[in-house]
Amino acid sequence: MELTQATVNDLLARLGPENGHLYLPDDLDPQDLTDLLDGRYGAPRTLVLDGFTDPTADESRGAALLVPFGDRAVTIRAWAYGDQWIGTGTARDGAGIERPVLVVARREVPEPLAPARDEDAGVDVDVDVDWMQRLTRLTGWSEPARRPGLDWSQTESRLGTPLPGDYKRMVETFGEGAFDGFLDLNQEPWTHYRDEGLLIWAGTEHEDLYCWRTDGDDPDRWPVVVRSFDGEDVPFAYRTAEFVCRVLTEPHHRFTMARYFDTHWFMNYRERD
């Protein structure tokens, strides 16, 4: 079997949107398929290696992918993609022969934490919301922090300014990658528009740049400004983590991703640092 991205599309279409698995031809190199999926979905999580299952594997980490194989999985790696888990590797078939496999399973993500509500006024009150906590829940993030304990002092000294706390938590928690494989999180801000009072903390495949307007001495109060691909500056009253949550979930947001995905995830570009 010749493996291409088109081949992968065909195989996934055969499996359908719900749970399913395929034993693939013996001449297929499982690593080639892993590499193709890695290029599409980011760094995978290893669920089974040499017949040993990760003891932390549970429903939030893709354990549903192992159900079709029982104790016959040899090596299985998993990716989160919207409302699916996608896995590949090798497993023994009914005759005990180790063969390449491709498997998909339904991915359930908890509802994001609701904001506090002022019942007298009948409105949501977001002042005390921990938007990073909401973001990790929204993406179904259950991995250990990718870049814990980063020393930001050098970065902030080089930039000549402290940085927003929720942004630093975001980088430490998720590391290098993209929300929904689309919103690319910078590991430190870019300074291309520093002379215009902007620092760039993220960007998208549509070439929109997500920035802060660096007004004032308190970075935790810096608002987000999107410099769109056509050079327009679009201001928002939100801070970093709140902005990401709203982009992911609000269908009428100007830069929404909610139109494309009902369930959200973070695509890792590499294993933990």
222-232 pLDDT tens trace: 999 999 999 99
Order of strands across the sheet that contains 98-106: 20-23, 98-106, 84-92, 73-81, 45-49, 52-53
Mean pLDDT of 180-192: 96
What Å distances lie between residue 244 and 51, 67, 108, 174, 269, CA to CA? 38, 34, 20, 13, 19
Angstrom distance (rounded) from CA 50 to CA 71: 12
Q: Which of 160-164, 251-255, 266-270 has the highest mean pLDDT?
A: 160-164
pLDDT in tens, 57-91: 999 899 999 999 999 999 999 999 999 999 999 99
Q: How many whole angstroms separate alpha carbon 177 and alpha carbon 231?
A: 25
pLDDT of the residue at 121:
46
Say which residue the tokens 């998909």 belong to. 104
pLDDT in tens, 86-109: 999 999 999 999 999 999 999 988
Structure confidence at residue 196 (pLDDT): 96
Whole-prediction pTM: 0.85
Residue 114 vs residue 162, higher pLDDT: 162
